[in-house]
Amino acid sequence: MTRIDAKFAELSAAGKKAFVSYVMAGDPDFDTALEVVKGLPAAGVDIIELGLPFTDPMADGPTIQLAGQRALDAGMTLERTLQLAAEFRKGDDTTPIVLMGYYNPIYNRGVDKFLTDAKAAGIDGLIVVDLPPEEDDELCIPAQAAGLNFIRLATPTTDDKRLPRVLQNTSGFVYYVSITGITGAAEAEAGDVGPEVARIKAATDLPVIVGFGINTPEKARNIASISDGAVVGSAIVSQIAAGKPVEEVLAFVKSLSDGAHAA
């Protein structure tokens, strides 16, 4: 059982929904990002999604793209991202970390070395948005063999014919992308998302978490009420981009987690 599996078991036993937060590793610099990440569990975050900076983030909107560029400009690399996770783990051995990014940096490092190093750094799961199920032998299957969850995205365009393939080797949870398009491009509506979540849950026993387009406590509550939890990324990254002090960023995160947990 991974930390992700244990967290969902704990939440289920308590009758609670999950709140997942995304931050870009190294944005705006290593030390500030580490301070934010260290503060997330106390702000009510159940699972941390840690963005891996990359030069060509095709699934991300301007907010996340710029966060990645700030991190790269500050010298962030895959190696430094794993170091950040390892630093976090020195004080927290229970909060799950999902590394979210693109395959190129992992491929360049070498899959076997990456998986060994990620596991040692305390990474629990991977979301690699540019590896479809047809490429499962590349990373998904080796990752699961190494004890890491491989989390797949389902979208509004994932029809009933495609869904079984998407779910085939997924573990940890299913990430439902509530809108078509890039991150931060539109707002999620529970009325639209609810039937899609129900359709996915009918096909899997895994928790279904909804992300994209959630930017207020009310939206987090509404989305969590029709799913197993909510993910917020761009709205939090925008606070960091605005130069807000870490304590203000974490207070904003707390308001969102309170919303999701009220569902």
The verdict on whether 134 is a catalytic residue reads no
**What secondary structure, in 3-state letters, does the chain show?**
CCHHHHHHHHHHHHCCCEEEEEEECCCCCHHHHHHHHHHCHHHCCCEEEEECCCCCCCCCCHHHHHHHHHHHHCCCCHHHHHHHHHHHHCCCCCCCEEEEECHHHHHHHCHHHHHHHHHHHCCCEEEECCCCHHHCCCCHHHHHHCCCEECCEECCCCCCCCHHHHHCCCCCCEEEECCCCCCCCCCCCHHHHHHHHHHHHCCCCCCEEEECCCCCHHHHHHHHHCCCEEEECHHHHHHHHCCCCHHHHHHHHHHHHHHHHCC
> Residue 235 has which token pair?
């709205």
The verdict on whether 49 is a catalytic residue reads yes
Measured between its terminal Cα atoms, the distance across the chain in Å is: 26
Distance of alpha carbon 78 from alpha carbon 212, whole angstroms: 24
Residue 246 in contact with residue 36, Cβ under 8 Å? yes
* Given the residues 5, 27, 60, 136, the one annotated as active site: 60
Distance of alpha carbon 96 from alpha carbon 258, whole angstroms: 19
* Given the residues 5, 27, 46, 49, the one annotated as active site: 49
Q: Catalytic residues, which ones?
A: 49, 60
